[in-house]
Amino acid sequence: MHTSLHRQRKFVHIFLLTIWKKAILRLKMAVLPIVTGERTPILRAKTKPVSKVTKDVVTLIRDMEETTRAAKGAGLAAPQVNRSERVCIAMISKKLVPLVNPEITWRSRERETAEEGCLSLPDIWIQVPRAAEIIIQFLSAAGRQRELKLSGFDARVVQHEVDHLEGILITDHKRENIL
């Protein structure tokens, strides 16, 4: 009985500690303002690769995740929150995944066209052709090298976000769409 009570107390203690840690983490996170406009310079500049996943980069990632959630977006790139690091967040398998220094290393020849919107271009919806499948390499928030093969919606979101890191917006695909 004593052991069981002890275990229960320990469990309650750990439980409270977890809630407390989560609350602190939430307090530290911030919803950042989203930059808009097709001609806004930060949205048109190429980003710079991150040399090391420092505390500052992790804070940026957490804030961008919070911002994506608040805006009900499927992804967000650093230039959209006025930053020039090669960092983005993408909805992959219905989860927000941070991608540091993402590079698309392979694109399928097969393309799919679907409608896309962008948090930086409110009320604009454009049919954008994208590679149906891609392979990406990136660093995780823990600084580990990762590789993923993606298809469908996941591949589309990542291609949209990686475009942002090159200063490309969905409106640039208009011409491609008409031809």
Residues forming the active site = 161
Q: Which stretch binds Zn ion (CB under 5 A): 35-43, 117-125, 132-140, 150-158?
A: 117-125
CB 9 → Zn ion: shortest distance, Å? Answer: 49
Distances in whole angstroms, Cα of residue 9 to Cα of each of 3, 19, 21, 110: 10, 15, 18, 57
Residues in the chain: 179
Q: Candidates 52-60, 83-91, 112-120, 137-145: pick the segment binding Zn ion (CB under 5 A).
A: 112-120
Count Cβ atoms within 10 A of the Cβ of residue 89 and give its class: 0-12 exposed, 13-18 middle, 19 or more buried.
buried
Count of residues of this chain found to bind Zn ion when the rule CB under 5 A is applied:
1
Contact flag: residue 74 with Zn ion (CB under 5 A): no
**Closer residue to Zn ion in complex, CB, 62/156:** 156
Q: How far is the CB of 173 from Zn ion (least distance, A)?
A: 12
Least distance from Zn ion to the Cβ atom of residue 16, Å:
40
Q: Name the one range near Zn ion by CB under 5 A: 24-32, 59-67, 118-126, 138-146.
A: 118-126
- Which of 118, 131, 155, 157 is close enough to bind Zn ion by CB under 5 A? 118
Selection from 73, 32, 31, 63 nearest residue 161 by Cα: 73
Give the whole-angstrom CA distance, residue 97 versus residue 110: 25
78 contributes a contact to Zn ion by CB under 5 A: no
Distance, in Å, from the CA atom of 167 to the CA atom of 126, rounded to the nearest integer, reads 17
Task: Say how far apart CA 153 and CA 71 lie, in whole Å.
Answer: 18
CA–CA dist 94, 153 (Å, integer)? 10
Residues found near Zn ion in the complex (CB under 5 A): 118
